[in-house]
């Protein structure tokens, strides 16, 4: 994995562990010579992620929609800052530039990015690892809900392992490195759908 798209919040929670986590992840990726592709923001977890990677000498590619760039939220310190027309183009650029995805804690936008990466894997639009950093148990309920969707039958058996989760970055990267692509919907037989 030469580059990973990292999804995370643009908010700064009151609990400082989240900002520290994002900074540490950026640093850890840079130390492993893994470039960061992220939302291009300079605030919240986004800004801390980029700061950590850049301080450790890493590559940081920001991808920001024109509307957010116009609000002066963009991080001009990135190795490269790409301004795109909108959110759809941003997510497509994440997929095109990265060899996999890591989701850190975040809100609605972060969930949108995670679920699109999962959905695109399921459909066969990419065969890249989709990692979820469940630091501090932040995603326990989301993982429980994902299991529930599978148990009810809304997530096919072939797709239950798309989300790769771990509580720390070292374990997550090791699991992602061992990733085997799932059988996509397009590869399934009609009776398996």
Domains of the chain with bracketed CATH: 3-180 (3.40.50.450)
pLDDT for res 25: 98
Dist CA 156 CA 177 (whole Å): 23
Contact 49, 26 (CB under 8 A): yes
pLDDT for res 193: 52
Tens digits of residue pLDDT in 21-64: 999 999 999 999 999 999 999 999 999 999 999 999 999 999 99
Whole-number mean pLDDT of the chain? Answer: 93
pLDDT for res 157: 85
Average pLDDT score over residue span 158-181: 96
pLDDT for res 39: 95
Q: What are phi and psi of 150, to 5 degrees?
A: -70, -45
Percent of the chain, pLDDT > 70? 95
Dist CA 27 CA 158 (whole Å): 34
- The whole-model pTM stands at 0.93
């Amino acid at each position: 994995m030469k580059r990973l798209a990292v999804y995370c919040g643009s908010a700064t929670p009151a609990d400082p562990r989240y900002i520290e986590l994002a900074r540490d992840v950026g640093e850890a990726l840079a130390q492993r010579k893994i470039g960061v592709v992220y939302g291009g923001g300079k605030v919240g977890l986004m800004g801390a992620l980029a700061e950590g990677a850049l301080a450790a000498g890493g590559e940081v590619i920001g991808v920001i929609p024109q509307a957010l760039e116009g609000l002066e939220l963009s991080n001009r310190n990135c190795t490269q800052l790409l301004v795109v027309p909108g959110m759809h183009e941003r997510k497509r650029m994440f997929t095109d530039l990265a060899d996999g995805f890591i989701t850190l804690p975040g809100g609605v936008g972060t969930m949108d990015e995670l679920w699109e990466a999962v959905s695109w894997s399921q459909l066969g639009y990419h065969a890249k690892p989709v990692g979820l950093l469940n630091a501090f148990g932040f995603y326990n309920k989301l993982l429980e809900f994902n299991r529930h969707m599978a148990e009810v039958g809304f997530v096919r058996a072939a797709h239950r392992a798309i989300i790769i989760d771990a509580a720390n970055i070292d374990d997550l990267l090791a699991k992602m490195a061992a990733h085997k692509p799932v059988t996509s919907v397009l590869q399934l037989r009609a009776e398996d759908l």
